[in-house]
Amino acid sequence: MSLLARAGFSPDAPPLRRWQGRTVLTVFITYATYYFCRQNIAAALPAIGEEFDLTRSELGQITMALFIGYGIGQIFFGLMSDRFGARYLLLVGMLVSAGLNVSFALSHPIIPMVVLWGLNGVFQASGMPALAKTIANWFTPAQRGRVQAVRGMDYPVGAMLVTLLSGFLVQYVGWRWAFYVPAAILTASAVHTFSRLRSAPEDVGLPPVEEHADADRAVAEANGCQSDNGSEFIGWRYVLKMTIANWRIWALATGFFGVTMTRYGFGIWAITYLTENGASVSRAAALSSVMWLGGALGIFVSGHAGSWWFRGRHAPFVVLQLVALAGLTALFPIIPTNVPWILLLYLAAVGFCTYGPDMMMCQTMAMDIATRKATATAGGFIDALGSLGAALTVALSGHLVDSIGWAPAMYLWAGGAGLAALLTSTLWNTRSCEGEYL
């Protein structure tokens, strides 16, 4: 069998493989385009601040609103995805987010912008839990790390593309077009997703994925896991037991709070920092986009590291990345912004150490701990706490920069990575399928 057939991207592949390949590709496109209506604001912030004479603290309040809304939305959409599946939730979330981007571009500061960007966060939250649930339904635990290593590169790729696109639009057309054009792209993607995606093998007449994986099923049964319920919802008691009442999920969620402090410190403020150090908006966007390239590589390596080096344990490599990230972030104030090759290498390393842990903690490790029956709720809960970390850091960073300078804000970001490393280390020996289901 050819490599394409084994991956599912060939008409000669077995039906399950074909649908798995189709699902991965559709999920990749879907979540990449979600970021077009979320990360686009980073390149627009300097121009918004200049047009409306806003301080960095006020810009921080606008960006903070998305993460507050995102945290609320994660809880709701996580529960709904475990109960009802993905397709209709994704359609509504994507279309409403696109509409809110257009509305934001037509509004004025500061309250209307805060409200609209906060609502955008609520509907942006429809993506992660629904798509994580879909991956958990289509792939067994032995496959998920490798699948996530490829599929998890979707949001760095999407963020990189929209950063480059919005930087160009802001400089040459105007900052409002950095919201109009991404909204059109997300709308087209919503139609594509609805037509191509199915929530589980049972939706296309195939048996549950466990029935196609004898080796995984043998391991599962040896570990006391059940594998005969398909995609059936088995009740809120089990879902809550595996999430809110699970100390491992709390450790992941609190650690993810720290990861997002670092991630969105760089993700939201790096372009502003570079423009204040002499770069044009388009050049700053191009430079900062290197983080996403490094992030894609970090996700790929992190997804495979557990099986390559740590016998199915994902936490050890994630902890190593987070320790390195804390050190790198603390060095940011002394990195020369006028030496491009040093800056590019530095930002690529930051991306590598940020986005591997980000994807593994919120998705793959959440699947391992909560099982596929509660994946969406667990991922939503983890991402909700992460959104609080993001909200805190984007708002507090703006205040710190206005009142003290950039260095204290960057030390705040470094502290987030250190907190994440400490908490994730408590999961050092955790493997998949330690509960009742895969």
Domain boundaries, the chain: 8-427
Whether residue 438 is predicted with pLDDT greater than 80 in this model: the reply is no
End-to-end CA distance of the chain: 28
Dihedral pair phi/psi, residue 12, rounded to 5°: -85, -5
Read out DSSP for 138-161?
HS-HHHHHHHHHHHTTHHHHHHHH
Q: Does residue 372 carry a pLDDT above 70?
A: no
pLDDT above 70 for 423: yes
CA 236 to chain centre: 25
CA distance linking residue 325 with residue 113, whole number of Å: 32
Looking at the DSSP bridge assignments, the partners of residue 326 are none
| Residue 437: φ, ψ to 5° | -130, 165
Say what the pLDDT of residue 257 is: 93
**Residue 239's pLDDT is what?**
62
Residue 21 confidence (pLDDT) above 50: yes
- Residue 270: CA count within 13 A, CB half-sphere: 32
Distance from C-alpha of 274 to C-alpha of 122, rounded to nearest angstrom:
29
DSSP secondary structure code for residue 373 in this structure: T
pLDDT at 435: 47
Residue 276 to residue 47: CA distance in whole angstroms: 12
Inter-residue contact 211 to 138 (CB < 8 Å): no
Q: What is the spatial distance between Cα 62 and Cα 65, in angstroms, rounded to a whole number? A: 5
Q: Quick one: 8-427 is in which CATH superfamily?
A: MFS general substrate transporter like domains (1.20.1250.20)
**In the prediction, which pLDDT does 424 show?**
87
Predicted confidence band at 240 (pLDDT cuts at 50, 70, 90)? low
Residue 296 confidence (pLDDT) = 87
- Can you give the pLDDT at residue 373? 62
Of 70 and 303, which is predicted with more confidence? 70
Closest CA to 151 of 360, 343, 313: 360
Sign of the dihedral defined by the CA atoms of residues 372, 373, 376, 380, in that order: negative
Res 234: pLDDT: 55
Q: What is the band of 132 on the pLDDT scale with cuts at 50, 70, 90?
A: confident
What residue spans of 289-374 are helical by DSSP H?
290-309, 315-330, 340-359, 365-370
pLDDT reported for residue 263: 92
437 forms bridges with which residues in the sheet? 226
User: Quick one: pLDDT band at residue 3, thresholds 50, 70, 90?
Assistant: very low
Distance CA 314, CA 4 (A): 27
- For residue 160 the two structure tokens come to 């990189």
What's the CA gap between 286 and 298, in Å, rounded? 19
Mean pLDDT across 336-345: 91
pLDDT of res. 97: 97
- Please say if the pLDDT value at position 211 is more than 70: no
Phi, psi for residue 139 in degrees, rounded to 5:
-130, 145
Contact 381, 258 (CB under 8 A): no
Q: Residues 218-233: pLDDT tens digits?
A: 544 444 444 444 445 5
Give the highest mean pLDDT range of 9-13, 294-298, 364-368: 294-298
pLDDT in the model for residue 91: 94
pLDDT of 214 strictly over 90? no
**Residue-averaged pLDDT of the chain:** 83
Q: What is the mean pLDDT of residues 165-181?
A: 95
Q: Which residues contact 283 (CB under 8 A, 6 or more apart)?
A: 167, 274
Question: Average pLDDT for residues 372-399, to the nearest whole number?
Answer: 80
pLDDT at residue 8 in the model: 54
Reported pTM: 0.77
Residue carrying structure tokens 């939706």: 203
Which pLDDT belongs to residue 432?
A: 57
Contact 136, 367 (CB under 8 A): yes
Reported confidence tier of residue 1, pLDDT bands at 50, 70, 90: very low
Q: Where are the alpha helices (DSSP H) in 125-230?
A: 127-138, 141-151, 154-172, 177-196, 214-222
Residue type at position 186: L
Of the candidates 164, 166, 186, 182, the one whose C-alpha atom is nearest the C-alpha of residue 174 is 166
Average pLDDT over residues 102-117: 95
Q: Give 197 or 429, the one with higher predicted confidence.
A: 197
pLDDT at 107: 94
Contact 336, 343 (CB under 8 A): yes
The predicted structure's pLDDT at residue 364:
72
